[in-house]
Amino acid sequence: MKNEIHLKTASLAAAILAVVMTVLGLGMTALPANAAALTDAEVTLRTESVVSSQWDKVDLTCEWSVPDNSQPGDTFSIQLPPELRWFGVTSFDLQNPDGQTVATATANDSGLVVFTLTDFVAEHPLNVGGTCSFSTQYSVDPGDGETKELSFTVGSSVVRVPVVVEPCTSECGPSIPTSAGKAMWWVDPAQTVLESIFYMPPMPSGTNDVVVTDTPAAGMEIDCSQVTPRVGRVLNDDGNIAEPYDNERYPVILDCTPQRLTATWTGLPRGEHAELYVVTRVTDTALDVYENSGTVSIAGQETPVGAQTRRSSGSGTGNGTPTPSATPTATATPSPSATPTPTPTPTPTLTETPTPTPSPSTATATATPTPTPSPSTTTAAPSASPEPTSSTTSPVLVVPTEIPSEPVAEKPVAEEPTEALATTGARGTAFVFVAAALLAVGSLLAFVGARWSGRRSH
C-alpha cells in the first residue's frame, strides 16, 4: 500500500513538473532579444541660426551612426540643453531612399529625443547611419551679442554646438503700426494651438467705428473662449498695447463661431489704439501650412489682412549595408595541391632497391629509395623503369598487399562564435523536451502504480 502511494505521488509530481517546464519553455520561446541603449553611437550637430531675442527659432541638423550589428529596438538619444526647447512635431521617421524606415525619433517635453532602430537593421546590420533635422526655440533671454556654446548630451558624451547671438541694433524700440495688419504664431511646442493678433494704427478721426473679422482656413477652428480685445494709448517695448487699458470705456461687441469672428468698437477717439488677440486650434495636423485671413474696417475704410504659419517638423535619413553573403570555397572538389600524399599506402611503382633480391616479407616500398610524388600529381601512376645506378643492382617490382583508396577531403570544422548572441528565446525548446521527458516518466510511474495496485488487490 505504501509503495502504491509513493508511486502515485511521484507520478503526480512528475506530471506537474512537466506542465510547469512546458509553460516556461513556451514562454521563453516568445521572448524577444533585449534592446540596448547605444551609448557609443556617434552624433554630430550643427546650426546656422542666429539668435536675437527670446523664443527665436534655432534649426539644427545632425549626422548619426551606430555600431555594426546593432539590433532592432536599440536606441540612442540627444538631450537638448536648457537654453532650447523642442519645437514641432514630437515624432518623425528616418527613411532610406526607398522609403524604408531605418529609425524613428520621438521627443518629450523635457527635450529628450530618442532614436529607435527598426527591423531594417536586422537585414542591413553594417554601416547604419544617416542624417536628421529638427527645430527648437531659444527659451531664454540671449543677452549681449556673442557666440555661445550649447551643450547637448548624446549618450555618455557631450556635444558642444556654437550659436551666434546678434541683438537688435536698429529700430529696436516699440514700432507704431501705420496700417492694419495681422500676425500669427505657434503657442505650444507641439504646434497644436495658434494665436494671432490684429493690429491697427492710431485712430485717425475724432470718432471711429472699428469692425474686425477673422476667418480661419481649413484645418483650424476659433476658440471663442480665448478672444482678447484691447484698447489703450500706452505701448510696451514690443509695440503692443499696455496697461492702463481703456477696455471698459470702449467695450467691444463679439460675435463668434468656430469658423468666423466679428469684433465691433464704436466711437474710438483720435489717437486710441485697438488690438484683437484670437486663439485658433488645429483640427487637421497633416497640413504643413496654416492660413488665417480677415478684414479690418476703420471709419468705413476696409483693409484685407492675413497671416500664414508653417509647421516646423523633424525629418531625417538613414541607411545600412547587408551582411556580405559567404563566398563558396573549393572544399567540395579538392585542388591538386590540397590532395594528401598517399604515403601510408603507396601505389605500385618501380623502385630501386639496394638488395639484389627482395625480401619475401616486403609489402611496401622503402621510404628512402621511393621517389616523392610531384605536388601537381592527383593520382599516382606507375613510373617508367629508372636506369640502374649500379651494376650490382637490378630493378625490382614491389606490389603492395592492399589496394590504395582515393583520398577523402576533410570537411571544414565550423568555428565557434566569439561573441555572445542576443537572447532570442531559443532555450525554450530545451524546456519543452525536458517537460516531455518528465511527462513520460510520470506516465510510466502512474502505469507501474496501477499494475502494483492490481496485484495487491488480488
Same structural domain for residues 294 and 197?
Answer: yes
Same structural domain for residues 92 and 139?
Answer: yes
Q: What pLDDT is attached to residue 350?
A: 41
From CA 37, how far away is CA 87, in angstroms rounded? 25
Task: Name the domain count of the chain.
Answer: 3
User: pLDDT tens digits for 47-78?
Assistant: 999 998 888 999 999 999 999 999 999 999 99
- Residue 422 covered by a domain: no
User: pLDDT tens digits for 149-170?
Assistant: 999 999 889 999 999 998 776 6
Same structural domain for residues 89 and 196?
Answer: no
- The answer to whether residue 124 scores a pLDDT higher than 90 is yes
- Residue 421 covered by a domain: no
**Nine-digit cell string for 191:** 504646434
- The CB density around residue 295, as the number of other CB atoms within 10 Å, is 18
Same structural domain for residues 131 and 161?
Answer: yes
Q: What pLDDT is attached to residue 20?
A: 52
- Residue 352 covered by a domain: no
User: Quick one: what percent of the chain has pLDDT higher than 90?
Assistant: 48
Q: Which of 284, 311, 338 is the last residue of a domain?
A: 311
Q: Which residue has the cell 524700440?
A: 173
- Residue 222 covered by a domain: yes
Grade residue 107 by pLDDT with cuts at 50, 70 and 90. very high
Bridge partners, 158 (sequence order): 153
Q: What pLDDT is attached to residue 311?
A: 87
Same structural domain for residues 249 and 221?
Answer: yes
Q: Which of 311, 332, 348 is the last residue of a domain?
A: 311
Helix then strand then coil, % of the chain, to nearest 5: 15, 35, 50
User: pLDDT tens digits for 261-278?
Assistant: 999 999 999 999 999 999
Same structural domain for residues 219 and 283?
Answer: yes
Q: What pLDDT is attached to residue 143?
A: 81
Grade residue 181 by pLDDT with cuts at 50, 70 and 90. very high
Same structural domain for residues 57 and 153?
Answer: yes
- Residue 266 covered by a domain: yes
Grade residue 136 by pLDDT with cuts at 50, 70 and 90. very high
- Residue 361 covered by a domain: no
Query: Which of 185-194, 209-218, 348-357 shows the lowest per-residue confidence on average (mean pLDDT)?
Result: 348-357
Same structural domain for residues 132 and 15?
Answer: no
Q: What pLDDT is attached to residue 147?
A: 87
Residue 438 phi, psi dihedral angles, 5° rounding: -65, -40
Angle ∠(323,324,326) on CA atoms, nearest 5: 120
The continuous run of DSSP H or E covering 213 comes out as: strand 207-216
- The answer to whether residue 332 scores a pLDDT higher than 90 is no
Same structural domain for residues 163 and 46?
Answer: yes
Angle ∠(209,211,212) on CA atoms, nearest 5: 150
CATH code (residue 203): 2.60.40.2430
Where are any strands of DSSP class E within 233-379? Answer: 253-257, 260-269, 273-282, 289-298, 301-310, 315-321, 349-351
Average pLDDT of 423-435?
A: 44
CB 153 within 8 A of CB 79: yes
Same structural domain for residues 302 and 212?
Answer: yes
- Residue 137 covered by a domain: yes
- The answer to whether residue 376 scores a pLDDT higher than 60 is no
- The answer to whether residue 282 scores a pLDDT higher than 90 is yes
Domain of residue 250 covers 192-311
Q: What pLDDT is attached to residue 189?
A: 85
- The answer to whether residue 388 scores a pLDDT higher than 60 is no
Same structural domain for residues 154 and 259?
Answer: no
Q: What pLDDT is attached to residue 177?
A: 85
User: pLDDT tens digits for 339-351?
Assistant: 444 444 444 444 4
Same structural domain for residues 106 and 201?
Answer: no
Q: What pLDDT is attached to residue 54?
A: 87
From CA 379, how far away is CA 345, in angstroms rounded? 12
- Residue 336 covered by a domain: no
- The answer to whether residue 118 scores a pLDDT higher than 80 is yes
CATH code (residue 140): 2.60.40.1280
From CA 424, how far away is CA 32, in angstroms rounded? 5
Q: Which of 287, 311, 335 is the last residue of a domain?
A: 311
Q: Beta 157-165 vs 253-257: how paired, if at all? A: unpaired
- The answer to whether residue 451 scores a pLDDT higher than 80 is no
